[in-house]
Amino acid sequence: MSDRLLDRYTGRRSTGDGETEGGFEPDGNEDLGAFGWLRTPRDRAVMVELRKKTGAIVAIAYSYVDRVEFSPSDGITLRCGQEKIRIKGRGLNNEIRPQVRLFQGIARQRVTWIQETDASSLLRADKSAVIVEVIEC
């Protein structure tokens, strides 16, 4: 079976610039807007990138995360030893697709990056979207 035929049925088509259509990145990451998700269930991320609106990025090793908590009022809290990292926003526990939630992905080490949403995206987002307003670290 040729790669072209396989790509037609799996929905992964190259756009010619190294990216693929459908929100998939060549490294197996899926861009879900507010966060990146590893597509294959057996894959585990080594680190999670926390991307701020300012352009600053902090990467935290999953091996240092002791505890992950979700509260509808406080958001998601990652505890790394004595340090707390807070992810605040709305829809943080919404199901994007079956079995795809931000909190669940963090707990299973499938989230590769989390990104604060800029102001223009906030206005266009629907009520079911995952919106990360602030990452406090």
Q: What is the pLDDT of residues 45-104, one digit of tens each?
A: 999 999 999 999 999 999 999 999 999 999 999 999 999 999 999 999 999 889 899 999
Does the residue 68 lie in any domain? yes
Does the residue 113 lie in any domain? yes
Does the residue 3 lie in any domain? no
Does the residue 10 lie in any domain? no
**pLDDT tens, 19-31?**
444 455 556 789 9
Quote the pTM value: 0.77
* Contact by Cβ (8 Å): 114, 29: no
Does the residue 119 lie in any domain? yes
The number of domains in the chain is 1
- Kindly state the greatest CA–CA separation across the chain: 53
Return the amino acid letter for 69: E
**How far apart (Å, rounded) are the C-alpha atoms in residues 128 and 16?**
32
Does the residue 85 lie in any domain? yes
**How far apart (Å, rounded) are the C-alpha atoms in residues 117 and 123?**
10
